[in-house]
Amino acid sequence: MSTLRRFSLAPVAHTGLFGVFLGVHAVGDALHVLHTGVGCKGKTQRQLVEHDLGREAHPQVGWTELSEEDLIRDVAARLREAVPELQRRRQAAALLVTASAAVELTSTDLAVETQRLEAELGVPVVWLPGVATAADLYAGYGAVVRALVDRVDWGVDWRAGSKDPPVVSLVGNFFHRYEHEQAANLAELRRLVEGLGARLGPTFLAGESFGALQRAHAARLLVRMPYAGLEADDLATLTSRRVCGLGLPLGLRATGVWVRGVGAALGVAPPRVEALVAAREARVAPRLELARRRLGGRRLAILADTPLAAGWVLLSGELGLELPLVVLLDRTLGGEAALRAQVAAAGGEVSPGTRVVETPTLMELRGLAGGIDDPPPFDLVVRPDLSLADTAWAHVATLETGFPAGHKHFVFPLPELGYNGTVALAQRLLDAAGGVY
């Protein structure tokens, strides 16, 4: 059975290729070129189309439509034909090229081919190897972030531009749709940075254009966020910039840690940082206390990727929620060890009574809420839109967040991050608990 488990369907079954598709979608004018045969194109895009009501996803992906004969005779020939035609029609600012596992197994040097295409077309053509066999979508998304960071001319001295205020760029922001909770998250991050006397520069990724990302060389400081695809030390080596690695500012404690970390990296005087944190916390604390009175003692289950789960663990403690179960849905973001480390870094802890489950199969996940006719063991659950219909999970009051989210959409800027995001999430939990929306 343990041998067969690796072939079981995962709750979030998207692999690296979809992560690249998602990452390219988060760049305003890039194109994802998939070097592969004719397959189920609609299925590869459908989930993002249903997830993102803010922007159409189809124009940012193209296929070379490799035939079996091409695969035998000359794998690169169809790439050389298709990419110029795709670029003629799409006029992308940059093209990111991936290939199916079958194509990569031919050992064709696609790095050389993309370099030739870049010289021919006069726009960046970036080869992303190995993503077809990457373990999850976050690995593919991180590959896009790293490739785009690598294309910035970091040799330009940041002091060549304006020295005041200093520019801070974020690397590894998980921007998964053009709906208004994403815009609100970015506004909250900007507000935190500006509170420290700095200016938010280009963000990897946040829907900005390829050209805008190139101007990240003006940043004095890079904040490495959890979906960056490379560690803080590697980012510092690559960019020759000061880098601080931080988790998601989700909840009061995590947001305070984030502000203090950025402030220390910028050299802001500690009293000023503490005054900022104290003032922001004082503004939202009374509203959180109101939510705590209604939510305290309720049982919450968290189903999320590791960094997001860490933020929710911290917030659940701030709201007095009991936490019997945390399920980690990713395969490449660190698992239980990273969860515990990120929670501890913000001064919290995972309760000894909390069961942490890493990368369950979909069948295993369905069973974690008990039988469909049994009373649910949780009062609330925070999770993405998973295949959990006709299970006990369907009877648990649900706050839908993360990827994918097919039911919850945002036409109003309601954040999840920062101090305002903390209050907004408390409000959503109250709504879920009350069953009134």
Of the pLDDT bands very low, low, confident and very high (cuts 50, 70, 90), residue 40 is: low
pLDDT score of 37: 83
Strand (E) or helix (H) holding 322: strand 322-328
Average pLDDT, the chain: 94
Query: What's the average model confidence in pLDDT over 68-93?
Result: 93
Query: What's the average model confidence in pLDDT over 198-221?
Result: 97
Of the pLDDT bands very low, low, confident and very high (cuts 50, 70, 90), residue 162 is: low
Q: Which pair of tokens denotes residue 312?
A: 């929710």
Q: 111 and 79 in contact (C-beta within 8 Å)?
A: no
CA atoms within 13 A on the CB side of 344: 6
Residues 202 and 135 in one domain: no
Residues 142 and 224 in one domain: no
Burial class (CB in 10 A: 0-12, 13-18, 19+), 14: buried
Is the pLDDT assigned to residue 227 strictly greater than 80?
yes
pLDDT score of 41: 63
Query: What's the average model confidence in pLDDT over 151-178?
Result: 90
Residue 8 lies in a domain: yes
> How many other CB atoms sit within 10 Å of the CB of residue 352?
5
Residues 135 and 271 in one domain: no
Is the pLDDT assigned to residue 1 strictly greater than 80?
no
Q: Which of 308, 363, 408 is nearest to 4 (CA)?
A: 363
Is the pLDDT assigned to residue 25 strictly greater than 60?
yes
pLDDT score of 44: 63
Residue 318 lies in a domain: no
Is the pLDDT assigned to residue 268 strictly greater than 80?
yes
Residues 77 and 198 in one domain: no
Of the pLDDT bands very low, low, confident and very high (cuts 50, 70, 90), residue 421 is: very high
Residues 47 and 73 in one domain: yes
Assign 126 to helix, strand or coil.
strand
Q: Please give the Cα distance from 263 to 36 (Å, whole number).
A: 46
Query: What's the average model confidence in pLDDT over 124-147?
Result: 97
pLDDT score of 161: 58
pLDDT score of 426: 98
pLDDT score of 163: 62
In percent, the amount of the chain with pLDDT more than 90 equals 87
Strand (E) or helix (H) holding 236: helix 232-239
Window from 51-60, 77-86, 286-295 with minimum mean pLDDT: 51-60
Domain that holds residue 242: 158-276
Of the pLDDT bands very low, low, confident and very high (cuts 50, 70, 90), residue 30 is: very high
pLDDT score of 57: 87
Residues 172 and 266 in one domain: yes
Q: Which pair of tokens denotes residue 60?
A: 């940012």
Of 150, 178, 201, the residue that ends a domain is 150
Q: Which of 236, 125, 119 is nearest to 171 (CA)?
A: 236
Residue 329 lies in a domain: no
Is the pLDDT assigned to residue 43 strictly greater than 70?
no
Report the residue count for the chain: 437
Q: pTM here?
A: 0.96
Those residues whose C-beta lies under 8 Å from the C-beta of residue 30, and which sit 6 or more positions away, are 24, 60, 92, 93, 94, 95, 96, 210
Of the pLDDT bands very low, low, confident and very high (cuts 50, 70, 90), residue 48 is: confident
Residue 9 lies in a domain: yes
Residue 59 lies in a domain: yes
Residue 90 lies in a domain: yes
Residues 167 and 146 in one domain: no
Q: 383 — phi, psi (to 5°)? A: -165, 165
DSSP per-residue codes, 146-210: HHHHHTS-TTS-GGGS--SSPEEEEE------SSHHHHHHHHHHHHHHHHTT-EEEEEETSS--H
Number of domains into which the chain is organized: 2
Burial class (CB in 10 A: 0-12, 13-18, 19+), 29: middle
DSSP 412: S
Torsion (CA) 117, 118, 120, 123 in degrees, nearest 10 = 130
pLDDT score of 47: 82
Question: For 340-384, how does the pLDDT look when each residue is reduced to its tens digit (9 = 90+)?
Answer: 999 999 999 999 999 999 999 999 999 999 998 888 899 999 999
Assign 334 to helix, strand or coil.
coil
- CATH code assigned at 7: 3.40.50.1980
pLDDT score of 192: 98
Window from 153-162, 217-226, 254-263, 376-385 with minimum mean pLDDT: 153-162
Query: What's the average model confidence in pLDDT over 413-434?
Result: 97
Of the pLDDT bands very low, low, confident and very high (cuts 50, 70, 90), residue 397 is: very high
Is the pLDDT assigned to residue 4 strictly greater than 90?
no
Residue 391 lies in a domain: no
